[in-house]
Amino acid sequence: MDFELSGDQRAFRDTAREFARREFAPQAARWDAEGIFPVDALRHAGELGFCGLYALAEYGGLGLPRLDASIVFEELAAACPSTTAYLTIHNMAAWMVTRFARPEIAAEWGPRLAAGEVLASYCLTEPGAGSDAASLTTRARREGDHYVLDGAKAFISGAGATGALVVMARTGEAGAKGISAFLVAAGSDGITYGKKEHKMGWNSQPTRAITFDGVRVPAAHLLGEEGEGFAIAMKGLDGGRINIATCSVGAAQGALAAALAYVQERRQFGRPLADFQALQFKLADMATELVAARQMVRLAASRLDAGAADATLYCAMAKRLATDLGFAICNEALQIHGGYGYIREYPLERYLRDARVHQILEGTNEIMRVIIARRMLANPSTETFQ
């Protein structure tokens, strides 16, 4: 078992770190404060391949393993968790298109998605179907060589500012087997976007509801086959859980770095804060939890890359652990800063706000516990986790 990064992985890490330092870090606070969706920065990321990290190489992506992609996302999230989180969603959509679209559709859309020329949103959640995604009610009925979409989606990242939508809709019976996936041009007739939601965090990416009213989608834009949409969504969510867990690790890394710098600069009672053992213990615990979360994420990514039968289990474990610990580390870093951590002059309150939603999306952490517990009860052997 080798925990060291390969030469290629170190090169990706260093490139992402330099890009984040140059493109994300100087503007992240302004994007957050002014609610700016940084399209130019995202397209610059696309120039380095960061918009198609694991999209298929034959359609313009880099075709990287999920482990390598997580290394890139962690470095970017240390500068701006919100923008990086959107980038992970775009990567998931780009992967779905290059992996499941008809070859001619993948060839048309894949290179533009991978380059960041076209940005994408992922449309699964509905007003009445969050954790119970299999109960979604958006419908797609076949009419000749088109499908007609009717319904609504909620909490869609990038909505109103992206050019492509990956939409899950019901084409058949109730439940998971009746769901199909579609690539939809975001400007199609019959699509309307709701107001931009005012959120606690993730302010560098717009979040809106989307309504579909008689939207005609070419039948060739079906991803996979009819009835395979839920399976595609779940495959996407395994990787999505690794992605969002990685964003929490990155946010925690950024917060810990800020705390380390602060305790060495700030003085109280005539001494640097770094001299106080109580703060040393806090920092030690934060660093230990950060490494534990990172290694759990990388283990899950490795299981997913290997096509392991228990990959979904490990992705759920990684998402639960990393998002809980990541938020806790950000919170401790803010506490170390005292009152300064609560004001926008320092990045701690932004890290905290951005990291909080990670415990909710891509399946709440309560749902992650359900997935883990069901696997344990179905196979009580301790070998399940060896």
Residue 129 has pLDDT above 90, yes or no: no
Distance CA 266, CA 306 (A): 47
Residue 385 has pLDDT above 90, yes or no: no
Residue 156 host element (H or E): strand 146-157
Position 257 in a domain: yes
* pLDDT tens-digit series, residues 68-124: 999 999 999 999 999 999 999 999 999 999 999 999 999 999 999 999 999 999 999
pLDDT for the residue 243 = 97
Kindly report the backbone phi and psi dihedral angles of residue 183, in degrees, each rounded to the nearest multiple of 5, phi listed first: -95, 120
158 with 183, same domain? yes
145 with 20, same domain? no
Q: Does residue 355 contact residue 377 with C-beta atoms inside 8 Å?
A: no
- Model confidence at 383, pLDDT cuts 50, 70, 90, reads low
In the chain, the N- to C-terminal Cα span, in Å, equals 13
Residue 381 has pLDDT above 80, yes or no: no
**Which three-class secondary structure state does DSSP give residue 149?**
strand
205 with 320, same domain? no
Q: Does residue 251 contact residue 351 with C-beta atoms inside 8 Å?
A: yes
Beta bridge partners of 271: 268
251 with 365, same domain? yes
Q: Does residue 163 contact residue 177 with C-beta atoms inside 8 Å?
A: no
User: The tokens of 97 are what?
Assistant: 């298109």
Q: What is the DSSP letter of 343?
A: S
* Domain carrying residue 251: 230-385
How many Cα atoms occupy the beta-carbon half-sphere of 17 within 13 Å?
9
* pLDDT tens-digit series, residues 259-299: 999 999 999 999 999 999 999 999 999 999 999 999 999 99
250 with 357, same domain? yes
Task: Tokens 């309307």: give the residue.
Answer: 192
User: The tokens of 199 are what?
Assistant: 């959120």
Report CA 6 to chain centroid distance, whole Å. Answer: 24
**Mean of pLDDT over the chain:** 96
Position 1 in a domain: no
pLDDT for the residue 311 = 95
140 with 34, same domain? no
pLDDT for the residue 384 = 62
150 with 96, same domain? no
What CATH number does the domain containing 345 carry? 1.20.140.10
Position 2 in a domain: no
Closest CA to 190 of 234, 146, 132, 230: 146
- C-alpha angle 336/341/347, rounded to 5°? 115
- Domain C-terminal end among 114, 134, 156: 114
Closest CA to 364 of 131, 46, 185, 177: 131
* pLDDT tens-digit series, residues 148-205: 999 999 999 999 999 999 999 999 999 999 999 999 999 999 999 999 999 999 999 9
**Which three-class secondary structure state does DSSP give residue 346?**
coil
Residue 33 has pLDDT above 70, yes or no: yes
pLDDT for the residue 366 = 97
Residue 1 has pLDDT above 70, yes or no: no
- Domain C-terminal end among 212, 227, 242: 227
365 with 332, same domain? yes
- Domain C-terminal end among 201, 227, 253: 227
216 with 339, same domain? no
User: The tokens of 285 are what?
Assistant: 């615990």
Distance CA 274, CA 141 (A): 64
Residue 380 has pLDDT above 80, yes or no: no
pLDDT for the residue 133 = 86
pLDDT for the residue 128 = 87
* pLDDT tens-digit series, residues 210-267: 999 999 999 999 999 999 999 999 999 999 999 999 999 999 999 999 999 999 999 9
Distance CA 151, CA 304 (A): 33
Residue 130 has pLDDT above 90, yes or no: no
Kindly report the backbone phi and psi dihedral angles of residue 50, in degrees, each rounded to the nearest multiple of 5, phi listed first: -75, -10
Q: Does residue 117 contact residue 126 with C-beta atoms inside 8 Å?
A: no
The arithmetic mean of pLDDT across residues 40-67, rounded, is 97
208 with 236, same domain? no
Q: Number of structural domains, the chain?
A: 3
Render 5-65 in DSSP notation, one character per residue.
PPHHHHHHHHHHHHHIIIIITTTHHHHHHHT---HHHHHHHHHTTTTSSSS-GGGTS----
Q: Does residue 317 contact residue 363 with C-beta atoms inside 8 Å?
A: no
91 with 235, same domain? no
Position 99 in a domain: yes
Position 234 in a domain: yes
Q: Which residues are catalytic?
A: 362
- Longest CA span, the chain: 79
Distance CA 89, CA 93 (A): 6
pLDDT for the residue 202 = 98
Q: Who's near 182: CB < 8 A, 6+ residues apart?
A: 140, 147, 149, 166, 167, 168, 169, 217, 221, 222, 223, 229
Residue 222 host element (H or E): strand 222-223
pTM of the entire predicted model: 0.95
Distance CA 98, CA 108 (A): 10
221 with 241, same domain? no
Distance CA 73, CA 245 (A): 10
Distance CA 67, CA 283 (A): 27
* pLDDT tens-digit series, residues 310-342: 999 999 999 999 999 999 999 999 999 999 999
Position 339 in a domain: yes
What CATH number does the domain containing 214 carry? 2.40.110.10
